[in-house]
Amino acid sequence: MGIRTAVVGASGYAGGELLRLLAGHPDLDLVLATAHSQAGRPVAGVHPHLAGLDLVLGATDPAALAETDLVFLALPHGESAAIAAQLPDTVKIVDLGADFRLIDPAQWGRYYGGEHAGTWTYGLPELPGQRLRVAASDRVAATGCYAVATILALAPLVAAGLIEAEDVVVVAASGTSGAGKAPKAHLLGAEVMGDLTPYKVGAHQHVAEIKQATGAASISFTPVLAPMPRGILATVTGRPANADITANVVRAVLADAYADSPFVHVLAEGQWPHTAATFGSNSAHLQTAVDIDSGRVIVVSAIDNLGKGAAGQAVQCANLMLGLPETTGLPVHGVR
Ligand SMILES: NC(=O)C1=CN([C@@H]2O[C@H](COP(=O)(O)OP(=O)(O)OC[C@H]3O[C@@H](n4cnc5c(N)ncnc54)[C@H](OP(=O)(O)O)[C@@H]3O)[C@@H](O)[C@H]2O)C=CC1
Ligand SMILES: CC(=O)N[C@@H](CCC(=O)OP(=O)(O)O)C(=O)O
């Protein structure tokens, strides 16, 4: 018997991707998959791509979860804390929601409202020193999807002093699965297809965790909904601190920052990230340029929002928490 593992919120997009990854994981044994309104339905009825996974979605019962070794929470914001509070210390938890990501309660109040649940270890192992902190933790808050795409592009630039921390601009497009399965007015099929739509303009909740993780002082962030099922392409630009900066210098800083990170790939000169190349993987692809007109430093990053942006990231953190190799059960390469 391996690590007894439960997925809470298993009927959702992130939960479904966790089930798919766990089915191929050699050490994590899926013993419980729970849902809310869809409890009682077979997994394959909710997730047709998981046909053959012979499991019925259970109700979310903390007493049953307490009998496991590892719980992934893939719930709407605000629902994790009540369940986590009922689980003993013997159970390791990775929360995919936002509830425990932020340190500053004022930032929680600004972007989410309501009571701040607390702060867990931020689940982005590629940040300096964070791999060890995740490995030493029993409670980890996995990152937001736009946040990981942006932080991976931005953090090394701020840390190396290549750009000014108070002038960062991000425009990022996401596939529709990023919004979750629950019906939303702007996500009706006919409205999404053949269209690009900005939303939460000037007020996206991931700005708080991006600033917290990178040290950027001010960020203008514009998310765009794209007519594709999954994937994020983030274009991050910053004003250079030094007028002589070149793309080769930026590329070297990024390559150095991720030299020991198996899932982050700084692409060869001339190759640009695109979402399809990361589809189904836990990888992030990065490339950089210096704008020949404005002189701004540009880093483009691509991820699969359900992979490195959600379920893959969560499994990567769980691997570290359990002392397993970070890459166990996780695809480095996309499906095309
Ligand atoms: N989608 C993405 O790309 C990413 C998602 N995340 C985070 O992961 C979490 C899940 O997201 P996602 O899978 O997209 O969301 P979905 O809307 O697709 O799924 C939500 C899940 O939570 C369950 N649920 C809904 N309401 C409750 C409740 N009141 N109590 C208990 N369970 C409930 C649903 O069960 P049922 O269907 O049975 O009602 C479903 O299993 C969110 O916190 C999200 O922010 C993080 C990064 C990326
Ligand atoms: C397309 C879309 O709507 N995406 C969601 C991000 C979902 C996510 O990953 O972030 P959280 O875990 O913080 O919810 C949004 O922009 O709010």
315-328 pLDDT, tens per residue? 999 999 999 999 99
- Quick check: is 326 in a domain? no
Predicted TM-score of the model (pTM): 0.98
Q: Domain holding 38: CATH number?
A: 3.40.50.720
Worst-scoring range by mean pLDDT, 89-103, 136-150, 173-187? 173-187
Q: How far is the CA of 230 from the centre of ligand 2 (A)?
A: 12
Provide the angle, in degrees to the nearest 10, between the axes of the packed helices 145-159 and 247-257: 110
Same domain? 134 vs 156: no
Same domain? 124 vs 244: no
Q: Which residues are catalytic?
A: 145
Return the closest-CA partner of residue 288 out of 209, 235, 225, 331: 235
- Quick check: is 327 in a domain? no
Is any atom of ligand 1 closer than 6 Å to the C-beta of 12? yes
pLDDT of 66 > 90? The answer is: yes
- Quick check: is 328 in a domain? no
Is any atom of ligand 1 closer than 6 Å to the C-beta of 182? yes
- Note the ligand closest to the C-alpha atom of 186: 2
125-176 pLDDT, tens per residue? 999 999 999 999 999 999 999 999 999 999 999 999 999 999 999 999 999 9
Same domain? 313 vs 197: no
Closest ligand 2 atom to 96 CA: 12
Is any atom of ligand 2 closer than 6 Å to the C-beta of 225? yes
218: domain range? 146-305
CB neighbour burial string for 173-187, b if at least 16 within 10 angstroms, e if fewer: bbbbbbbebeeeeeb
Same domain? 164 vs 277: yes
Same domain? 278 vs 172: yes
